[in-house]
Structure 1
Amino acid sequence: MTTVLGHNQYGKAETRVVRITRDGDTHHVRDLNVSVALSGDLDDVHYHGDNTKVLTTDTTKNTVYAFAQDGGIASPEEFALRLARHFTGSQPAITSARIRIEEYGWSRTGETGHSFVRDGGEIRTAQIRLDGAGCEVVAGLRGLVVLNSTGSEFRGFVKDPWTTLPESRDRVLATEVEARWRYGRHDGDGEPDWDAVHRRSRAALLDAFADTYSYSLQQTLYAMGSRVVDAGPEVDEIRLSMPNKHHFLVDLAPFGVANPTDTGAVYFAADRPYGLIEGTVLRDGAPARLPTD
């Protein structure tokens, strides 16, 4: 044999599950997209087509639905932990489980407790990886679009023969935040209030973006990540990916129209190409474990 099997995993991807909890006339919605990946002692199915150790992907889908009913969904992190512990604890061949969850938010609207409107583009994320070394929890969000209409400048940068970007002392700063923060490994005791830490981390990101006078998007990224880590002891590491959503002042001079920034200006919002600023902020002394890609 000239080949050997490397790392492998299997499972059911993107199982959509919506759990509606009724508290009298007030209802609560948790809307998840759940992806399960399992690995372990599965050489025989790859080498010989022997399925005796294979828990079907259809079964993993049904387990997601059953667990959503039996035990509910307290948070994406709690639900993912429960699934991972079930798969690794009930199947001798399965030694590692990775559960990825996206949550879509809903807010109440109207006078009733049962009418909702889907929250904008922001998605809450959670990933659980459970294996023999323990359990790693990474949570976060993506699609959080923010904009400062002033309080930002960009100047003093390197200039070479191909530089055309003018320096700016007052610019629009806009980005779409993707953030992943690591709780580290957990043994099941003393787990944090996942929802509370998510709310706190999201608020810290927004507050830091609003409060920071920005000389560069890199500086703003570091300020936002630091605010999350400093907000509490649970988060040791956060990785941020922040595209620069450029807003260029429109040249209206050919039409004889002024476009002054001091009283109100018109900008062109460019969607591509864009600068992409990424970085990781760590608690001092904490190891870096989040992937860099």
Structure 2
Amino acid sequence: MAVVLGPNRYGKAETRVVRVTRDGEAHHLKDCNVSVSLSGDMEEVHRRGDNAAVLPTDSQKNTVYAFAKKHGIGEIEEFALLLARHFVGSQPAIHHARVEVEEYAWERRGPHSFARSGAEVRTCVVHHDRDGTTTVVSGLRDLVVLNSTGSEFHGFVQDEYTTLPPATDRVLATAVTARWRHVPPDGGEPYDHGKSYEEVRRCLLDAFAGTYSLSLQQTLFAMGERVLLTRPEICEVRLELPNKHHFLVDLSPFGLDNDNEVYFAADRPYGLIEGAVAHDDAPPAGPAWD
């Protein structure tokens, strides 16, 4: 029975890079976390320890820093594309590059003073093959949203272990993780990834706020649908919505009513609702979501 090498990749994970662009007295800040994974003709290094085809992960880290200096960091999708194309184009043994970038937002407080802006993180993952196939998945995580009414949950299955009472007026809160896949450009102008990101984010927020929800699943679909009906450059949206439960506090021991006013915000355990919403003619995803 033969033993064969299966799928494999290697790279440098979580290279933190902060790029300051000095425009006179006004400075601009980009704070990113970059992870690179490369795959290709790696049989010899795995079987015999022959490193002739291996680009050291330290070199990958240095490339991130050098590209931050040479090219700056604009939209994170464009920075990831530059890196992915570079690694595939410059290394004969590398057939596929995966570059993931997280961006941490800073709020301007002066010409050269900044404050971290909440917990929300912008994300992207770029895949690039030697045959020129490229996929871009943009996204965000930890976008915390809450509706204080306009949500119900009832009519669900009840078995011998069910204790949850039906709810006709509840708080609905979640921390959105969303990823959306771009349609490959059809020979036209490259996407404005910055504008696309802001518009998709707005669609997600508008749909969450504007949906009278009978379940978090219904809200998930409404959020993905709003993006797809509004943004032609997007063909698929994947969402992870943890249900941040808010339970009414029993104030009767203190002689007080609680008319949906005082809640206990529980952090765990929590329901986790996940789903994909796509155009029925969306092109195959390939490794895009990996």
Q: TM-score range by the shorter chain?
A: over 0.9
CA distance in 1, matches of 2:187, 2:93: 22
Over 3 Å counting, the alpha-carbon distance change for 1:234 and 1:145 in structure 2 is: same
Q: CA deviation at 1:88?
A: 0.4
In structure 2, the partner of 1:218 is 217
**Which residue number corresponds to residue 203 of structure 1?**
202
Report how far residue 187 of structure 1 moved.
8.0
Q: State the TM-score, normalizing by the size of structure 1.
A: 0.94
CA deviations 1:214-249 (Å, max 9, x no partner) are 111111111111111122211000000001100000
- Which residue does 1:182 correspond to in 2? 181
**Unpaired segments of 5 or more residues in structure 1?**
none
Conservation of the 8 A alpha-carbon contact between 1:282 and 1:288: no
- Asked if 1:168 corresponds to 2:167, the answer is yes
Evaluate the alpha carbon distance shift between residue 185 and residue 14 of structure 1 in structure 2; reply closer, same or farther with a 3 A threshold.
same
Q: 1:130 — aligned with what?
A: 128
1:52 maps to 52
CA distance in 1, matches of 2:263, 2:113: 37
Q: Is the 8 A contact 1:135 1:187 kept in 2?
A: no
Q: Point out the more displaced range, 134-143 or 227-236.
A: 227-236
CA distance in 2, matches of 1:61, 1:72: 15
Cα displacement (A) at 1:130: 0.7
Q: Percent identity?
A: 62
Partner of 1:229: 228
Counterpart of 2:155? 156
> 5+ residue gaps in structure 2?
none
Q: 1:223 to 1:113 in 2, by over 3 A?
A: same
TM-score (norm 2): 0.94
Look up the match of 2:17: 17
The aligned residue for residue 266 of structure 1 is: 262
Q: Is the Cα–Cα contact under 8 Å of residues 237 and 288 in structure 1 kept in the other structure?
A: no
1:282 pairs with 2:278? yes
Cα 1:188–1:31 change in 2 (3 A) is farther
| Distance of 1:200 and 1:40 partners within structure 2 | 36
Q: Name the residue aligned to 1:38.
A: 38
Offset from partner CA, 1:55-78 (integer Å, 9 cap, x none)? 111111100000001011111100
1:238–1:281 Cα contact (<8 Å) kept:
yes
3-state SS, counterpart of residue 126 of structure 2: strand
Q: Which moved more, 1:89-98 or 1:131-140?
A: 131-140
Distance across 1 between alignment mates of 2:28 and 2:5? 45
Residues 254-282 of structure 1: per-residue CA shift (max 9 Å, x gap): 22222122xxx110111111111111111
Alpha-carbon distance in 2 for matches of 1:74, 1:291: 22
User: RMSD of the TM alignment (CA)?
Assistant: 1.8
Does the CA-based 8 Å contact 1:141-1:179 persist in structure 2?
yes
Q: Are residues 128 and 187 of structure 1, via their aligned partners in 2, closer, same or farther at CA, if it must alter by over 3 Å?
A: farther
The size of the alignment, in residue pairs, is 288
SS in 2 for 1:236: strand
Q: Look up the equivalent residue of 1:125 and give its one-letter code.
A: T
Deviation at 1:171, TM superposition (A): 0.5
Correspondence 1:247-266 to 2 at 5 A: 247-261=246-260, 265-266=261-262
- AA at the equivalent of 1:101: V
